[in-house]
Amino acid sequence: MSETILALEGVSKSYSGKPAVQNLGFTVERGTITGFLGPNGAGKTTSLRMSLGILAPDAGKVRLFGKNPGAAAMDRVGFLPEERGIYKKMKTEDVIVFYARLKGMHKDKALDRAVGMLKDFDLGHTVGMKVKELSKGMAQKVQIISTLIHEPEFIILDEPFSGLDPVNQKSLEAMVKSQADEGRTVLFSTHVMEHAERLCNKIILVTHGNKIFDGSVAEALGEVPRRVIIEAPADQNVGDMLGALGYVVEDDQAEDGNRCWHVDMKTSVDAQDVLKACVDGGVTLARFEPVKAHLHDAFVHMVEASPHKGQETV
Amino acid sequence: MRAIYLIARREFLSYVATWGFWLSLASMPLFMGLGIGIPILIESSQPTRYYVLVDETGGSLEQAIFEGAEASRIAEQERAVQAITELVGDSPQIEAAIASQTLENDGGRYVRISPDEIGLATLRPYLTGDALVDTPEGEQPLFAAVYLRGNAVDGIEIEYWSTNLTDAGLRTQFRRSLRDYMQQSRLRDAGISAELIETVNALSPTVRELNPLRTEEAAEVTVAERLPLIVGAGFAFGLWMVIFSVVNMLLTAMIEEKGNKILDMMLASCRHHEILIGKLLGVAMVSATLLLTWGSLAIGSGITIQQFASATDMPIADILAAVLDPGLILPAVGYFIIGYMMYGAIFLAIGSLCETLQDAQSLMSPILLVMMAPLFIIMTAFDSPDSPVVAIASWIPVWTPFIMLARLPLDPPLFDLVGTTAVMLTTALIVTWTAGRLFRMGALNHANQDTIKGWFSFGKKKPVSEA
């Protein structure tokens, strides 16, 4: 059984009476990449801050490395906050060394490693430059290096992809994977599902301060009804014909005088059954497209189906 | 402790690396130098004024004027001695220093010339600048032409011709000299001898200031005893200036960090109280560096002046003893720490709530008013440190550090000492704790300047919420 690095049990937090997080519970296991997903204002940042002891929960319990989150645990964690900035007047390597020393690293070792990591991140030429001379993307890389410089066991990244261009987003994804490959545990929050879908062993979905899903990506995708898109001549009523196989709704996107139908299949039905029904019914198919579900669809589906939808949170 | 040390160190080094720090470091000696140097520069750069004096009475008035000038110089010296005596008491050394200084500065500014032609019609072009006078400094316009008429009994008329309306030195000197001459002539005419007049003019009481707490032999009040009062008030001013300038540094740096989203990164590595204390300590080290440098410069200058300058007999040893008195220095250090902690924590908390200096200004205004008040009270304390206003004001905890420093040399009652210190320490703890909470809220973006304004808007109608 793998070790639990972080555990939240029934954690709640309110600001001025307005709930930000309500009765939240989840665990993060050693060596995994966990995605903490939710729309803006879902309570992700508050939850991460409580996980590190930066904020105290109003109710519930937080265990980091099996203990209450304290100063000692911070040295084992690398946290990249959502709102991040670094001292603009300092040199790149000095900023990194400063954060490394805050985490307990020796100055010389920190400097060696800072220069090495800058090179690894294609920023070797910035050694000796002041942060204010760097581009925004470069500065973000320096922040990420500052988070990882002390080789933390547990890496928490709050919206790490925001503000990065597609190239740098890809680099960051590679970095997250490599950290996990080296045995580190990663927890990151995002509201962009594609990153989570590619990276995560496990995802936790929150909305309005409540958890609505906790499991693997495959399990999340299993929550989404599988869909087939069909286009047929306007005089053929596919909707009535396929109603027994699932939920059928007409779309107005069809062209050339055709009609378009979305079929969300029942659990016991698959695309072959739908195709057979069409053939048996003499439907002249202009389009038959089984749709591969994405985490985004699963997320939207689960949020829409959530009993917490419409609740007001901070 | 590690985080506090690292943050304090980073803060210190970041300030020391700025131009502002070095300007601040240089400002005190620079201003002192300018304060002393500019008047000397102005005085020494004054052009020599050439004038013509025509005594139409045959020379008696001219003689009176030159005797009067000498008497004025002596009187000026006596006034300077009197002023310094009122400040620090009788001191033969200071009198000697002023006498030597007055002699050095005397004369040379107005130079009389005696042309062959002294009629106004001849001199007018020289007065208007249409013609120039040959002088050792080259050709110069004539500054003034003065004609003296009449006599001491019926009245003296000074006809003073000059295009310069602002430099009244020569005119005033002539008027004073001849006024004294007229008064003395009248006294002599009344049968009073010149010796008696001189004797009367020289009369002045001898003041012996004695302390009734001591016996007759040791009762004489010395310069060394007065100096602590001045040094105490000086310390209070200095403390106010240092705290005021340092907390402003804290505020601007905090706002910059808040605006640049650095606080969130810091909170990922250390706790908010470590950031708060680290920053306070870092800037405290900056101010300690400033104070130590200025203090060393002042002591070094004092010793240098004593050894090399003309004022060799200044009581530097007494002044240094007063400045370095542990009875004043140790409380000053304590008051600095407490005062700095209170105001520094408040300004840091304000900085953490604001993204820009404009945001901070509305919160700072009432605090700046509170900070300005002790400045005026210290001025009162300088003249009357035992005033009830000063005593009461010293109980207001945010003013205690400044005002008690000014009161300390007067040996205030033990109750006042202990009481004000207890109230100040309690307030400092409450203020620092509250500021720490605010700092945390501000750093985590859970509060901003409007939160504070909201606390003071009791009874005000709340705006209608948007739908």
B269/A84 Cβ within 8 A: no
Q: Can you name the residues that pair with A263 across neighbouring β-strands?
A: A228, A248
More confident residue, B457 or A97: A97
Per DSSP bridges, beta strands A287-291 and B49-55 are unpaired
Say how far apart CA A283 and CA B23 lie, in whole Å.
Answer: 87
Q: With 60 as the cut, is the pLDDT of residue A95 above it?
A: yes
Specify the fold of A225-292.
Alpha-Beta Plaits (3.30.70)
Which of A74, A83, A89 is opposite residue B269, by nearest beta carbon? Answer: A74
Q: What is the CATH number of domain A4-221?
A: 3.40.50.300
Residue numbers in A near B262 (CB within 8 A): 85-87
A255-302, pLDDT tens digit by residue?
Answer: 777 888 888 888 788 888 888 888 888 888 888 888 877 788 788 778
CA distance readout (Å), B426 to B331, B350, B353, B405, B431: 17, 21, 24, 18, 9
Tell me, what DSSP letter sits at residue B399?
T
> How far does A13 lie from chain B, in Å, by closest CA?
13
- Residue found by looking up tokens 């310094």 in the block: B84
Q: Which residues of B299-331 are buried (b: 16+ CB within 10 A; e: fewer)?
A: eeebeeebeeeebeebbbebbbebbebeebeeb
B147-165, pLDDT tens digit by residue?
Answer: 998 877 778 899 999 998 8
Residue B6 near chain A (CB below 8 Å) = yes
For an interface test with B, give the residue of A64, A82, A91, A101 to mutate (most B CBs within 10 A): A101
Nearest CA in chain A to B259: A85
> How far does A89 lie from chain B, in Å, by closest CA?
8
Residue numbers in B near A89 (CB within 8 A): 14, 17
B36-68, pLDDT tens digit by residue?
Answer: 777 777 767 777 889 999 988 888 888 888 888
Q: CA angle B215-B216-B221, nearest 5°? A: 90
For chain A, what's the residue count?
314
Say how far apart CA A252 and CA B127 lie, in whole Å.
Answer: 104
Residue numbers in B near A90 (CB within 8 A): 14
Q: Which strand ranges, in their side-by-side order, compose the sheet holding A210-215?
A: A77-80, A154-158, A185-190, A33-37, A202-207, A210-215
> How far does B261 lie from chain A, in Å, by closest CA?
5
Q: What is the ipTM of this complex?
A: 0.73
Residue numbers in A near B260 (CB within 8 A): 85-88
Residue B189 near chain A (CB below 8 Å) = no
> How far does B464 lie from chain A, in Å, by closest CA?
18
Identity at A192, one-letter amino acid code? V
> How many A/B residue pairs have CB atoms within 8 Å?
60
Which of A15, A81, A146 is opposite residue B264, by nearest beta carbon? Answer: A81
B321-346, pLDDT tens digit by residue?
Answer: 666 777 777 888 888 888 888 888 88
CA nearest neighbour of B15 among B24, B26, B6: B24
Q: How many other β-carbons are positioned within 10 Å of the β-carbon of residue A32?
A: 17
Say how far apart CA A228 and CA A251 lie, in whole Å.
Answer: 12
Percentage of chain B exceeding pLDDT 90: 6
Contact A141, A164 (CB under 8 A): no
Say how far apart CA B84 and CA A91 lie, in whole Å.
Answer: 55
Say how far apart CA B228 and CA A201 lie, in whole Å.
Answer: 74
Give the pLDDT of residue A240: 80
Identity at B447, one-letter amino acid code? A
A54/B444 Cβ within 8 A: yes
B445/A87 Cβ within 8 A: no
Q: At B115, is the secondary structure helix, strand, or coil?
A: coil
For an interface test with A, give the residue of B6, B258, B265 to mutate (most A CBs within 10 A): B265
A54/B265 Cβ within 8 A: no
Residue B96 near chain A (CB below 8 Å) = no
B3/A102 Cβ within 8 A: yes
Residue numbers in B near A103 (CB within 8 A): 269
Q: What is the mean pLDDT of chain A?
A: 85
The structure tokens listed for B430 are 């409450």
Identity at A47, one-letter amino acid code? S
A104/B444 Cβ within 8 A: no
The residues of chain A that CATH labels 3.40.50.300 are 4-221
Q: How many other β-carbons are positioned within 10 Å of the β-carbon of residue B163?
A: 11
Q: How many other β-carbons are positioned within 10 Å of the β-carbon of residue A266?
A: 14
Per DSSP bridges, beta strands A287-291 and A246-251 are unpaired
Nearest CA in chain A to B268: A79
The structure tokens listed for B425 are 């320490």
Q: At A186, is the secondary structure helix, strand, or coil?
A: strand
Identity at B370, one-letter amino acid code? V
Residue B298 near chain A (CB below 8 Å) = no
E strand spans, A173-308: 185-190, 202-207, 210-215, 227-233, 246-251, 258-265, 287-291
Residue B265 near chain A (CB below 8 Å) = yes
What's the helix, strand, coil split of chain B in %, to 5? 70, 5, 25
Give the pLDDT of residue B108: 58
A84/B264 Cβ within 8 A: yes
Contact B394, B404 (CB under 8 A): yes
Which of B257, B260, B269 is opposite residue A99, by nearest beta carbon? Answer: B269
Give the pLDDT of residue B318: 67
More confident residue, B238 or B127: B127
A83/B261 Cβ within 8 A: yes
DSSP B12-29: HHHHHTSHHHHHHHHHHH
Q: With 60 as the cut, is the pLDDT of residue B463 above it?
A: no
Say how far apart CA A98 and CA A107 lie, in whole Å.
Answer: 8
B241-275, pLDDT tens digit by residue?
Answer: 888 878 888 888 888 887 777 877 787 788 888 88
The alpha-helical segments, DSSP class H, found in B268-413 are: 272-308, 316-323, 326-353, 357-383, 388-393, 400-407
For chain B, what's the residue count?
467
Q: At A154, is the secondary structure helix, strand, or coil?
A: strand
Nearest CA in chain B to A73: B269
Give the pLDDT of residue A63: 92
Residue B214 near chain A (CB below 8 Å) = no
Phi, psi of A45 (to 5 degrees): -65, -40
Say how far apart CA A85 and CA B334 lie, in whole Å.
Answer: 36
CA distance readout (Å), B248 to B36, B399, B441: 28, 18, 21
Residue B451 near chain A (CB below 8 Å) = no
The structure tokens listed for B50 are 């050439």
Give the pLDDT of residue A87: 85
Residue B454 near chain A (CB below 8 Å) = no
CA nearest neighbour of B91 among B207, B259, B260: B207
| pTM for this entry | 0.68
Q: What is the mean pLDDT of chain B?
A: 79
Q: Which residues of B177-198 are buried (b: 16+ CB within 10 A; e: fewer)?
A: bbebbbebbeeeeeeeeeeeee
> How far does A179 lie from chain B, in Å, by closest CA?
19
Residues of A within an 8 Å Cβ radius of B: 15, 49, 52, 54-55, 71, 74, 79-90, 98-99, 101-104, 143, 146-147
CA nearest neighbour of B49 among B105, B124, B125, B126: B126
The alpha-helical segments, DSSP class H, found in B17-158 are: 19-45, 60-88, 92-105, 120-128
Say how far apart CA A226 and CA A242 lie, in whole Å.
Answer: 14
Say how far apart CA B294 and CA A282 lie, in whole Å.
Answer: 99
